[in-house]
Amino acid sequence: MKVLGRTSAGMLAAAALVLTAGCNKGRETGEVTSKTSDQTTTTPSTATAEKHDLAMVRVVNALAGGAPIDISAGDSLAFGGIKYKDATPYREIADNMFNFKLRAGAANGTKPVAENRENLHDGGHYTIVAMPDQGGPDKANLRVLDDELKPVAPEHARVRFINAVPGGRDVDVILKSLSEPLFKGVNFKSEAGWKEVDPASGTLEVRPDGKETVITTVRDVKLEGGKSYTFVLSGRTGKYDVIKIVDDVSEAK
């Protein structure tokens, strides 16, 4: 077994420091303006969050037909009374390893129906999606997504799609004005990842994978250049919904 000398170990440590700094540099943004169906909010720059060792976290409730939900971070209530199809504004959470817990309604003393332990990085943006589980109505999933937000060039829009409907049905996502699908074969609990496309508008259709049948539509969708769009498919067979969030990310100063 080869042992590194002080010089080699020091070089590796310095390289790791440079790599970490480079990763953090790629995450730096200015203010983020987020728009949902009922509100527009602004989140401070990553530099502000990093200064106070904070991450930015928001929650999407994709649990159809249930009571409002609460999300705890560690032992503290972080988000309360989130109704179905609502997406909260970002809020500041300490950048640490947190055990996020999902409970129905305001019953904080009850056993959580879902948990997810996640390491948050300072200055990072995260979206927690509360979604059903295939194990039954008394079970749920908490999916924590690293939003990887960044400023987008004005000649492109940035899009991602999350399938939060259980049942094993993979879906394709079509914007009628585009020649190619936005996404193909997105399965349950999956995030399709960010995709940059030319600005476009039209009707958004969600179809079973490889089929022409349309299971739900969103009319008058506009993918504007310079903005990031998150779509979450929710609901149940026969009654689907699409939750939309628009993020406008400014350059770091």
DSSP string over 84-121? TT-BPPPEEEESSEEEEEEEETT-TTSPPSEEEEEEPP
Give the separation between CA 215 and CA 132, rounded to whole angstroms.
18
On the question of pLDDT at 168 being above 50, the answer is yes
232 or 190, greater pLDDT: 232
Give the separation between CA 144 and CA 178, rounded to whole angstroms.
30
In sequence order, what are the residues at sequence separation of 6 or more whose Cβ sits closer than 8 angstroms to the Cβ of residue 9?
none
- Model's pTM, two decimal places? 0.86
Q: Give the tens place of pLDDT for each residue, 99-152.
A: 999 987 655 567 888 999 988 888 899 999 999 987 766 789 999 999 999 999
